[in-house]
């Protein structure tokens, strides 16, 4: 039986959008972590440039875990879907789910100067009308 799969390969070079990838991971963590825990472990103190609390060994391991995937076969093609995070539903069952985070347009289109837009605020729910 022949089974095919396609995967991206960026080669040996670091992708130019690595900042966006990392920012997305932090935003996903922000949306799936208790606010106080996130602020203690991921927000840097302006005086020390360090988080208020160091990450516990357990939290470090969780952050370094591989991404979650779901696989499906369609004919001779193997499809893989990356799942961003996991949780537990109200009945105590394990669930996995996808979060979509996007950087603001100025950061995406001027990635080399992304730091200039860290205080950018979105003022409208929709763009030009």
What residue ranges do the domains of the chain occupy? Answer: 18-117
Instruction: Please give the Cα distance from 62 to 87 (Å, whole number).
Output: 13
pLDDT in tens, 29-49: 787 778 888 888 777 777 787
Mean pLDDT of the chain: 75
Residues 69-74 have a mean pLDDT of 72
> Residues of 23-62 as b/e, b for ≥16 C-beta within 10 angstroms?
bbeeebbeeebeeeebeebbeeeeeeeeeeeeeeeeeeee
Cβ atoms of 86 and 100 within 8 Å: the answer is no
Quote the pTM value.
Answer: 0.55
Which pLDDT belongs to residue 91? 93
How many residues are listed for the chain in this entry? 129
Assign 8 a pLDDT band (cuts: 50, 70, 90). low
């Amino acid at each position: 039986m022949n089974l095919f799969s396609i995967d991206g390969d960026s080669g040996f070079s670091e992708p130019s959008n690595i900042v966006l990838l990392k920012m997305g991971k932090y935003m996903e963590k922000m949306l799936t972590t208790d606010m106080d825990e996130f602020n203690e472990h991921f927000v840097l103190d302006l005086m020390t440039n360090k988080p208020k609390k160091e990450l516990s060994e357990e939290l470090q391991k969780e952050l370094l875990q591989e991404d979650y995937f779901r696989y499906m076969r369609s004919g001779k093609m193997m499809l893989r879907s990356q799942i961003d995070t996991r949780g537990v539903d109200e009945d105590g069952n394990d669930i996995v789910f996808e979060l979509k985070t996007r950087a603001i347009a100025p950061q995406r289109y001027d990635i080399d100067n992304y730091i200039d837009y860290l205080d950018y605020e979105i003022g409208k729910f929709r763009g030009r009308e």
